[in-house]
Amino acid sequence: MLYKTITKSDFEHLIDFILEQNEIIAPRKVGEKPDGTPIHQFLPIEAFSEMDLDYSKTEYSAKTYFLPFRENLSTWSFGDGGWKQDIQYRQKPRAIIGLHACDIHALLKLDKVMLKGPFPSPYYKARRENTVIIGMDHEPCGSGFCASLGTDILTHGFDLFLTDIGDRYFVAVDSDRGFRILSQVPLAEVTDEDRRRYVRARAAISEKQTIKVHTRNLPTLLDLTFNSAVWEKWGSKCLSCGACAMVCPTCYCYGVKERVCMDLASASKVKQLHSCNLVDFAEVAGGHNFRPTREHRLKYRYYHQHRGFAEAYDEPMCVGCNRCGDTCLAGINPPDVIADLEQENP
């Protein structure tokens, strides 16, 4: 890894440079909750001033720029006794600025499924490869428990990663592409003082990580509590609305439907992200439903996040952002559910 520092005004120049030829997605303030808490979302920007990098957590993750809620997989049209298929993988280059460590970890986890599995997704790959990631350190978000999952710090998965060390940014460079972009502004070598400031800045962030979730040996704990009443307690509250999966930075389950144009001259395969909490998620031919109750469905969401994924990929799927807990109207959140399981005496 290469480390450099740049001044804050040069960072602004860097953004201007990227904007000249690329789309930039960055955190923007879109509103306020009744209590005055700002609401942020990752949205396209046209000027540096539209970004608000001092955000704690966006309401939605940046997943949508890699795995959109809805995407057209293939369109085909009929005519002249035959048919033509049209598949578009192309993605214009874009940069996402200001992703926090947890959200970059989420992309690394999605990579394992979408790129490194037996069936890599060309749609995902095109977006991933044509997206520059410029991440940024930030104080803990309040409800997240990333530190318990080790997703509060990063060693790869970005082009550039910035840490605020006062009058300048300490920049970790993890790709040739990142270095070429960064070289558009004057770079300074890291001094001893910069090192000290970086270590202090990181330590200050870590100290503020107060939410602890016991995740060691969680896959086994989940096995042992499979029939626990905890699932009934939380499951009975579940609205089966799928909001948790929609805001989750790693949930990737989906369904595919065929959409036929009204003139019958063309049709397309459309993919839509789904959620394991929705009532028809596990419904199969003949109407049989493998997960007929809310309790079952909620349980299996936790099992996929913290057990099944861990078994397949040696790490949980959850990054600890707690967006699911923040968005759940019924108050279902991983720290409380896992704490309840901990209390069980199987």
Residue ranges binding other proteins (CB under 8 A): 30-31, 33-34, 39, 41, 59-60, 64, 69-70, 78, 236-243, 246-247, 258, 260-265, 267, 273, 275, 278-280, 294, 327, 329-331
Q: Nearest approach, Cβ of 211 to other proteins (angstroms)?
A: 21
Smallest distance from other proteins to CB 69, Å = 4
Cα(98)–Cα(115) distance, rounded to whole angstroms? Answer: 24
Position 281, amino acid: F
Bridge partners, 169 (sequence order): 6, 164
Q: Which is nearer to other proteins, 247 or 338 (CB)?
A: 247
- C-beta of 334: minimal distance to other proteins in Å? 18
Query: In the complex, what is the shortest distance from the CB of residue 150 to other proteins, in angstroms, rounded to a whole number?
Result: 28
| Closest distance of CB 307 from other proteins, Å | 25
Minimum Å distance from CB 339 to other proteins? Answer: 20
Spatial separation of the C-alpha atoms in residues 50 and 27, rounded to whole Å: 9
Helices (H), the chain: 8-21, 101-114, 122-129, 146-149, 176-182, 192-207, 218-224, 229-235, 243-247, 294-303, 309-313, 323-327, 334-343
Taking the complex as a whole, the smallest distance from the CB of residue 305 to other proteins amounts, in Å, to 18
Which is closer to other proteins, CB of 237 or CB of 269?
237
- CA dihedral over 29, 244, 100, 253, signed as positive or negative: negative
Q: Which is nearer to other proteins, 87 or 239 (CB)?
A: 239
Calculate the CA dihedral of residues 252, 255, 258, 261 and round it to 10 degrees.
-60
Residue nearer to other proteins on the CB measure, 144 or 178: 144
Taking the complex as a whole, how short is the minimal distance between the CB of residue 329 and other proteins, in angstroms? 5
Q: Distance between CA atoms of 293 and 277, rounded to whole angstroms?
A: 9
Residues 123-139, buried b or exposed e (16+ Cβ, 10 A)? bbbebbeebbbbbbbbe
In whole angstroms, the minimum distance from the beta carbon of 39 to other proteins comes to 6
CA distances from 50 to 15, 29, 141 (A): 11, 8, 21
Residue with token string 């920049």: 171
In terms of CB distance, is 58 or 163 closer to other proteins? 58
In the bound state with other proteins, the residue whose beta carbon lies nearer, of 224 and 239, is 239
Identify which of residues 45 and 218 has a Cβ nearer to other proteins in the complex. Answer: 45
What tokens were used for 289?
């439903």
Find all residues with CB under 8 Å of 259, minimum gap 6, and list them: 267, 268, 269, 270
Q: What are phi and psi of 73, to 5 degrees?
A: -85, -35
Closest CA to 300 of 326, 335, 328, 275: 275
If the CB atoms of residues 31 and 120 are measured against other proteins, the closer one turns out to be: 31
The strand pair at 160-164 and 168-173 is best described as antiparallel
> Which is closer to other proteins, CB of 168 or CB of 299?
299
